[in-house]
Chains A and B, each alone.
Chain A
């Protein structure tokens, strides 16, 4: 690898990279001890060690329901927005596509629109078609927000894609689906995966639209977190954040181990 060959310059780069990573992780790390604070204040040094906020979260049906709602909406959003955005990206990125630049700009507009406007507009619209206060409505709303992310990520990856490979596979006798699955998909997967992650995060951390569009039955985690903020910052949000961090670290670890094993058996 190129990195090992070049000396000092790469050490500097490596140091910069780690500094950026530390910057990214700092608030995440800072949260974890606070979730064990015995006082409801987010202040160091900790007043004492306590599991009271953990007890509060695990004993609270609201938090558990919120977790469930968030997962349902997030996964459904990914499931709809990823194919929508990926298909559109495959079209927009081709020279033959008419007005691609214009469509791209138009399809990115939802990202620039202040969320409150989208939230209110969708609420009015969904009320009219009878989908306000439902999972379907919230999933549709989050899909609107999430799909542009998929589009951007996949088009970026496809910019370096050689469609000649697909033609080559086809001319070698591969059927379209096989060619897509074995040639195209693996190559654009980083972009699709990035888009899917963005889509999930968009839904996962979205509060404004959820505030309008969701009813009592679909209260998501961010909504649960923001409720009561007017008055009291509930340390339970630190607990939920810590749990999420632990879960995602475990999932990454698990996924990694599984893949290594799969690679070895191959």
Chain B
């Protein structure tokens, strides 16, 4: 823009334009979310509940039996924690390193609260765990400032309790990688289907007269105004075994057995496509709006076959819309949770389900953060690869 005597360089002005959004997102997204996701490697709670124990354990070198100061810190901190009903948090976290520690810690907490003057020997006598040096070393690891336990767990890995080597978890406990793979697969399928449906639709809509265009756009947009919950319910009504679609097809003798349209993968994908289609459609449509037909016509009048003209002239011009619509859809699909839960089959849980599960049910925020972090990293990697091949951001001069 032509401002006389610029005191900012052109670059500076551009940065200034982007600054409000960058600052806003920094303040209200990256800082809050970042400080939650840090929990994937660091559990702030244990240090808050048992600060002395943490300090003493860290001061100890972890070799042989711990000094008395560690045992006394354990006694005092657990007694205080038990008073607040928070000793169980320590027990639960410790159980992730060694299940034997859970009952031992709970017993020690109760005993210490009952008798604050318990001697070191008395504490050690409470449970065989406390006479086992290896258990103390494990407890020390639990109180480490940083841990890779959750990140490993999100990759279906763990550290062997004795050798500390990274090993695979038992096959019936390995769930995250398979779920991640499924999440990516479903998202990809939904994105492709959306593209296949949205592109011709946009192509047709853009060529209609104003009245028809308004009508068609209304049809695209109306589902937007209907809550996802309502739409899921509607799909059930339409698609279930004795639903409208199956009954109609049966009465027309097109099929003899009801089709399994919901409570299956196809149900998940169908409902997700329905939700995402407008998100794919609108960027394509708004870009097509700004692409004049004249180039294609010119190419055709110069003898290009219609398809050739479309592929070489029209498609490249509309590609930014396709790129934006697909990226939008794919990325949004990665975070899906409710729709697959309501319409999907038994094997249709996506990764977000586990994030919600750990956040809300297990209240293990570290594990939830680790899973979310994994999803985030995968998204960034995919974005980077995608941006290489597709013009996510086609920059212009000016």
Which chain A residues numbered 183 to 239 have a C-beta less than 8 Å away from chain B?
A: 187, 190-191, 193-194, 197-198, 201, 204-205, 207, 221-222, 225-226, 229, 233, 237-238
Which chain A residues numbered 234 to 265 have a C-beta less than 8 Å away from chain B?
A: 237-238, 240-241, 244-245, 248-249, 252, 256
What is the bound-complex CA distance between A200 and B359, given in angstroms? 27
Residue of A nearest to B393 (CB): A104
CB neighbours of A221 from chain B (8 A): 227
Q: Does B2 contact A (CB under 8 A)?
A: yes
Q: Does B7 contact A (CB under 8 A)?
A: no
Q: Interface size of B by Cβ–Cβ distance < 8 Å?
A: 110
A-side interface residues toward B, CB under 8 Å? 1-3, 6, 9, 13-14, 16-17, 20-21, 23-28, 30-31, 34, 42-44, 83-85, 87-88, 90-98, 100-101, 103-118, 120-122, 124-125, 140-141, 143-144, 147, 149, 151-153, 155-164, 166-167, 170-171, 176, 179-180, 187, 190-191, 193-194, 197-198, 201, 204-205, 207, 221-222, 225-226, 229, 233, 237-238, 240-241, 244-245, 248-249, 252, 256
Q: Does B166 contact A (CB under 8 A)?
A: no
What is the bound-complex CA distance between A151 and B328, given in angstroms? 11
Chain A contact residues: helix, strand, loop or mixed: helix
Most chain A beta carbons < 10 A, residue from B29, B197, B293, B337: B29
Could you list some 17 contacts between A and B, CB below 8 A? A9-B306, A16-B197, A16-B204, A17-B216, A25-B219, A27-B231, A31-B226, A31-B230, A31-B234, A44-B243, A120-B359, A122-B28, A157-B287, A160-B287, A167-B398, A170-B1, A241-B225
CB neighbours of B228 from chain A (8 A): 205
The reply to whether B2 and A84 form a contact with Cβ atoms under 8 Å apart is no
The reply to whether B29 and A157 form a contact with Cβ atoms under 8 Å apart is no
The reply to whether B14 and A97 form a contact with Cβ atoms under 8 Å apart is yes
What is the bound-complex CA distance between A109 and B61, given in angstroms? 42
Q: Does B15 contact A (CB under 8 A)?
A: yes
The reply to whether B396 and A159 form a contact with Cβ atoms under 8 Å apart is yes
The reply to whether A159 and B277 form a contact with Cβ atoms under 8 Å apart is no
CB neighbours of A117 from chain B (8 A): 33, 36-37, 355, 359, 368-369, 372
The reply to whether B21 and A222 form a contact with Cβ atoms under 8 Å apart is no
Q: How many Cβ-Cβ contacts under 8 Å join chain A to chain B?
A: 347
The reply to whether B28 and A25 form a contact with Cβ atoms under 8 Å apart is no
A21-B355 contact in complex given A31-B230, A42-B236, A112-B331, C-beta closer than 8 Å: no
Q: Does B122 contact A (CB under 8 A)?
A: no
Complex partner residue of A152 from B204, B205, B226, B327, CB under 8 angstroms = B327
How near does chain A come to B306, taking the closest CB pair, in angstroms? 6
The reply to whether B395 and A153 form a contact with Cβ atoms under 8 Å apart is no
A108-B222 contact in complex given A17-B216, A30-B238, C-beta closer than 8 Å: no
B278-317 vs A, CB cutoff 8 Å, 1 = contact: the mask equals 1100110111011101001100000000100000000001
The reply to whether B384 and A116 form a contact with Cβ atoms under 8 Å apart is no
The reply to whether B398 and A21 form a contact with Cβ atoms under 8 Å apart is no
Complex partner residue of B286 from A28, A116, A191, A241, CB under 8 angstroms = A191
Residue of B nearest to A147 (CB): B21
Complex partner residue of B324 from A98, A106, A152, CB under 8 angstroms = A152
The reply to whether B395 and A144 form a contact with Cβ atoms under 8 Å apart is no
The reply to whether A109 and B379 form a contact with Cβ atoms under 8 Å apart is yes
Which chain B residues numbered 251 to 283 have a C-beta less than 8 Å away from chain A?
A: 274, 277-279, 282-283
CB neighbours of B372 from chain A (8 A): 113-114, 117
Q: Does B392 contact A (CB under 8 A)?
A: yes
Q: Does B66 contact A (CB under 8 A)?
A: no
The reply to whether B283 and A194 form a contact with Cβ atoms under 8 Å apart is yes
What is the bound-complex CA distance between A68 and B211, given in angstroms? 31
Assuming A20-B201, A112-B334, what are 13 further A-B pairs, CB within 8 angstroms?
A: A17-B216, A27-B274, A28-B231, A93-B393, A94-B396, A100-B393, A101-B392, A144-B29, A159-B391, A193-B286, A198-B282, A229-B229, A249-B218
The reply to whether A166 and B398 form a contact with Cβ atoms under 8 Å apart is yes
What is the bound-complex CA distance between A66 and B132, given in angstroms? 59
The reply to whether B384 and A144 form a contact with Cβ atoms under 8 Å apart is no
A179-B368 contact in complex given A3-B207, A245-B225, C-beta closer than 8 Å: no
The reply to whether A116 and B14 form a contact with Cβ atoms under 8 Å apart is no
